[in-house]
Amino acid sequence: MPMINRALLTLLFASAVLCASLPALGEFTPMEWRSLKSQVSGTIRDVSGAPLADAMVTGSGTEWSSDGLDGQQKTFETYTDSLGNYRLTLPAGADIASVQHPDQRNFPRAELLIQGPIAPGEHRADFRFQLIHVHGRLLGGDSRPARQGLVLYYPTPTSPICGTGLPQASVRNGSFDFTLQHPTSMSLVASLSTQPFGVPNVYKVIQINGDTTITIQVGGIPVVGTIRTIRGCAVLPLAHATLSVQGTDFIGEVQTDASGQFRTSVTKGTYRWTVRGANSEFQARARPDSTVIASPSNIGLLYDAVRWMGRVRDAESGEGLDSIWVQAYSENYNAGGARCITGARGEFEMFVPRGPTFDLVLYDYAIPRMAIPVNVTPEQVDRVYARVHRRTIKGIPANRDSTFEFTMKPMER
């Protein structure tokens, strides 16, 4: 699984709409306001400055009973006339009034006219729509226009955001375009993939005040390196491994060749490296713990691991058990682990990060792949399908190469 940069942490609950919502102020309306009205009126103009007809003006507030003791939250609306004029009657103390452009394709969000609580009486609220055009250029690590890519964009949040559905702009021959309704600070996640948050990607925050052209480069600083691992007394290249590159504003992924070498391109920053095998038979951070990259660099990395191998047998027959999931796991160590599936004679082999203490979790992976209903536990599924009971061996220190023999008790039917 790719590592997550600051952009992805910000977007872990990604959405175009901030979770924070306007407070419902109606219930705090002063008693002396509850029989009164607020009148909001004004003129709405289009981008060109011309009067805008058929724009929907809405407001929300609490409509109170005659004695002012019971209230019901309601939404009120009206439309601008041919001269762009409107007049909206709201209960005094209303929460908000806003306007929605009739062209919702280019103006998807309503704009604020007046923020509540709206006092009794007359209020003037004019508004002119804006449409800011942003043209972008996306470059790859070689500084050439990207043949494809995707740019996610959203107003830079001041608090966590939630949901899904961030707006996105596709990249064609290095170009992308999008529009904004008003000046703002924009967060952009640009990748050379056509999938959201594809790797490599880069995170940028750009203040946009008007029509503009921006350039984003994914990478740009060449990096070459080698990953090695310790096997007994020898230091050997780590071939055909996947290296994840995590920086403050950039993430990437690259494969090592048969000699453990790799090439990538990053942005300026501080990076951590995670290496994993093709089948996750190893996964952990490589050393050094972090690397500062500001110019073309040659990086030497080391993945220090111990080799755990052995066999899993049936406790009654002594026969090797194929398709047993074996996982080295630790709640106190989140920088990696290892897992594998036993072969035809119950044999397994994996490489576990040296130093931590792990639990080994074993269970039958030959169970048919199936969706488990929410009211059914994995143990209940085991009783129907598994050949053997689950087993956990706790507290094995990963300080040296080791060979194990495990038995698993057959499931009673």
Domains of the chain and CATH, by start: 6-15+131-217 (2.60.40.2190), 34-128 (2.60.40.10), 221-303 (2.60.40.10), 307-408 (2.60.40.1120)
Provide mean pLDDT across the span 363-391: 87
114-165, pLDDT tens digit by residue?
A: 998 999 999 999 999 999 999 999 999 999 999 999 999 999 987 655 555 7
Angle at 405 between CA 403 and CA 411, to 5 degrees: 150
Structure tokens at 373: 């209903």
Structure tokens at 403: 């060979």
Mean pLDDT for all residues in the chain: 88
Q: How far apart are CA 283 and CA 244, in angstroms?
A: 10
CB distance 34 to 64 below 8 Å = yes
For 261-326, the DSSP string reads: EEEEEE-SEEEEEEEE-TTSS-EEEPBSS-EEESSSEEEEEEE-EEEEEEEEEETTT--B-SSEEE
Percent residues over pLDDT 70 in the chain: 91
180-205, pLDDT tens digit by residue?
A: 999 999 999 999 999 988 999 999 99
258-306, pLDDT tens digit by residue?
A: 999 999 999 999 999 999 887 777 888 898 989 999 999 999 999 888 8
Q: What's the one-letter identity of residue 17?
A: V
Structure tokens at 313: 């047998």
Provide mean pLDDT across the span 216-236: 89
Answer whether residue 14 shows pLDDT above 50. Answer: no
* Side-chain-side CA neighbours of residue 294 (13 Å): 1
79-111, pLDDT tens digit by residue?
A: 999 999 999 999 999 999 999 999 999 999 999
